[in-house]
Amino acid sequence: MTDRPLVAVLDYGSGNVHSAVKALQAAGADARLTSDRGLVLDADGLVVPGVGAFRAVMDALRASRGDQMIERRLAGGRPVLGICVGMQVLFERGVERGVDTEGLGEWPGVVTELDAPVLPHMGWNTVEVGEGSRLFEGIEHERFYFVHSFAAQQWLLEVMPPFPSPALTWCDYGRPFLAAVENGPLSATQFHPEKSGAAGIRLLSNWIGGLGGRSL
C-alpha cells in the first residue's frame, strides 16, 4: 500500500514558499516545508524554491547547508526540482549587476541578464517543449507564469550514451532562454508552476508521478 509521495520543500529562508507547498499538495503530494536534514534526504522528492538575487539565495543555501543536502540527494539519484532562482543556482555561476557568484555547479554555464527592452520578464508566456519531456506531458501548448530578469541562455552540458539526453524546454523573451531542464533526477523550471494555474498543477503532478509512493 502506498501513500501520497512525500515532497520536502527546502526551507532555507527564501520567501514566498507557502504557495509552492499548497500547489504541490493540490498536485497530489504530501508536501512539507522543512529544513530537517533527515526529512530532506529521505523524502521522495525535494523542491528547491528561490526568489530574489542569485547571491542572496546561494548565501542562504550555504548558511543552512542546503547546498550539501541537494548534492547528497543527487549523488544518490534522488529527485530534485528547482524553481526560478532555485533553477538558476544549479548552474556554475550567476552574474547580476556586476556581482559574480559561484553556484551549485550541477550544470555548466552562467546565468546572466536577459537581453530584452523591458525587465523583468513578468507574466504569461509560451514555451517550446523539449523532446522526451515528462514534465510537460499533456500541457505542451499551455502558458506559464514568469517573473525574472536573469536566466541561463545556453546549455553547455554534453551527455554521452548510455545516459539519456536532457529534455530542454526554451522560452523566448528578447532572445531564447532555458525555461525548464529535465536531466536525470534533477529537474528545474525558470517559471513558477505554483503561479501557473491548472497547467502548473499538472506539471507538478507529472513530476510527482515519477517519484513513487511511500510504503506504509
Mind listing the pLDDT tens digit for each residue in 47-87?
999 999 999 999 999 999 999 999 999 999 999 999 999 99
Q: What is the pTM of this model?
A: 0.96
Selected catalytic residue, list 106, 148, 171, 192: 192
Q: Is 180 exposed, middle or buried (0-12, 13-18, 19+ CB in 10 A)?
A: buried
Selected catalytic residue, list 106, 142, 182, 194: 194
Q: What gap in Å lies between CA 84 and CA 54, rounded to an integer?
A: 10
Specify the pLDDT at position 13.
87
Backbone angles phi, psi at 165, to 5 degrees: -70, 140
Specify the pLDDT at position 215.
34
Specify the pLDDT at position 57.
97
Q: What gap in Å lies between CA 94 and CA 151, rounded to an integer?
A: 9
For the question of residue 192 being annotated catalytic, the response is yes
Please give the mean pLDDT across all residues of the chain. 95
Any idea what the Cα angle at residue 179 is, between residues 174 and 183, rounded to 5°? 145
Selected catalytic residue, list 18, 84, 131, 171: 84
Specify the pLDDT at position 15.
72
For the question of residue 84 being annotated catalytic, the response is yes
Beta strands (DSSP E) in the chain are 2-3, 6-10, 30-34, 45-48, 80-83, 91-96, 99-102, 107-113, 121-126, 143-148, 150-152, 167-173, 175-183, 186-189, 214-215
Specify the pLDDT at position 154.
97
Average pLDDT estimate for 131-150: 98
Q: What gap in Å lies between CA 72 and CA 83, rounded to an integer?
A: 19
Grid cell at residue 52: 530574489
Among 177, 198, 204, 185, CA closest to 21: 204
Confidence of residue 160 (pLDDT cuts 50, 70, 90): confident
Q: What gap in Å lies between CA 136 and CA 149, rounded to an integer?
A: 23
Grid cell at residue 144: 506559464
Mind listing the pLDDT tens digit for each residue in 182-208?
999 999 999 999 999 999 999 999 999
Region 2-215: CATH code? 3.40.50.880
Backbone angles phi, psi at 3, to 5 degrees: -110, 180
Q: Which 3 state secondary structure label does DSSP give 29?
A: coil
Specify the pLDDT at position 213.
55
